[in-house]
Amino acid sequence: MSFIYDRVALIGLGLIAGSMALAMREKGLAREIVGHARSSETRETALEIGLVDRVFDTAAEAVKGADLVVLAVPVGAMAAVAEEIAPYLQAGATITDVGSVKQAVVNAVSPYLPEGVHFVPGHPLAGTEHSGPRSGFASLFCNRWWLFTPAEDVDETAITRLETLVQAMGANTERMDAAHHDLVLAVTSHTPHLIAYTMVGVADHLKRVTESEVVQYSAAGFRDFTRIAASDPTMWRDVFLQNKDAVLDILGRFTEELFVLQRAIRMGDGQHLFDYFTRTRAIRRGIIEAGQDTAAPDFGRSQKPGENAKS
């Protein structure tokens, strides 16, 4: 069998790393998959359910002899992990990550990497609200975008090899500048998550609506807000702190738009509301036509993991 990588080391064994492990194993893309997680319980579970062939107590041990190292830890932990593993990385190895912010990761990781190691920052636009080693499934990346933000001087062979791996796992790949990536994600992911957290927080504090009513009568909009707001709090804390400038920029623009809509509602300007909703509806149709979601009433989210569920 022809493997793309000989040994892949997964640092962090949650949803994304677990899904990568299952996809690589299903497709026969790596000869050996090893891993590390801070929690002994997570390490034991990953070994028990077959995510990894071997598990190590430290990240430094896990990366020895690996030709691909995947940093699947919160963005705020990237620098410490990079410093720990740097002396143990083999020459010619490729290092990537799966963080939702890219410029901060580049700044955190790059200073520690030795010569001869190829750093290809990455971000799979895939996930669910679940976390932990048991949450992964092999089809998570099918028809999802996986963005890479390598520096201009990174070895092209290393980049294309990594792209070949994630394409084999079912993903579409694209390259972009790290700072531009962070602005794009502030629009498409980070600010929407912040709004979702805020809306759920508003419901929690709105005493005129009881908790039982919020739960029992949740319509589709609020239900999807709660799905987003159930995402890992550590990860999202780090995302907002590390992508602060772009998020604040988009959040300011959102606030301005909200004031305009607020005025239209107050003034009874139905035409403005209709025109605005018509434009935004077209964006939703574009997402469906691009194959990044489904027009089904439940958005395909009633599917079980592994059935090309969307997120």
Give tens-digit pLDDT for 64-97: 999 999 999 999 999 999 999 999 999 999 999 9
Q: Where are the beta strands (DSSP E) in 129-255?
A: 145-148, 172-175
The CA distance from 20 to 72, in Å, is 10
**SS3 call for 278:** helix
**SS3 call for 249:** helix
Mean pLDDT in residue range 123-141: 89
Q: From the CA atom positions of the chain, what is the Rg in Å?
A: 21
**Which residue do the tokens 């035409």 mark?**
271
pTM for this prediction: 0.79
User: Would you state the pLDDT for residue 305?
Assistant: 42
Domain 5-176 listed as CATH 3.40.50.720: yes
Q: What percent of the chain has pLDDT over 90?
A: 62
User: Would you state the pLDDT for residue 294?
Assistant: 61
Confidence of residue 214 (pLDDT cuts 50, 70, 90): low
Taking the domains of the chain in order of start, what are their residue ranges?
A: 5-176, 180-267
* Mean pLDDT over the full length of the chain: 87
**Residue 68 is inside which H or E element, if any?**
strand 68-71
Architecture of domain 180-267: Orthogonal Bundle (1.10)
199: pLDDT strictly greater than 90: no
Mean pLDDT in residue range 150-173: 97
> Exposure string (b/e) for 178-214, b if CB count within 10 Å is 16 or more?
beebbbbbbeebbbebbbbbebbeebeeeeeeeeeee
User: Would you state the pLDDT for residue 216?
Assistant: 67
Q: Is 259 exposed, middle or buried (0-12, 13-18, 19+ CB in 10 A)?
A: exposed
The CA distance from 300 to 208, in Å, is 33
Note the pLDDT tens digit of each residue in 1-30: 579 999 999 999 999 999 999 999 999 999
User: Would you state the pLDDT for residue 49?
Assistant: 94
Among 72, 66, 74, CA closest to 46: 72
User: Would you state the pLDDT for residue 130?
Assistant: 80
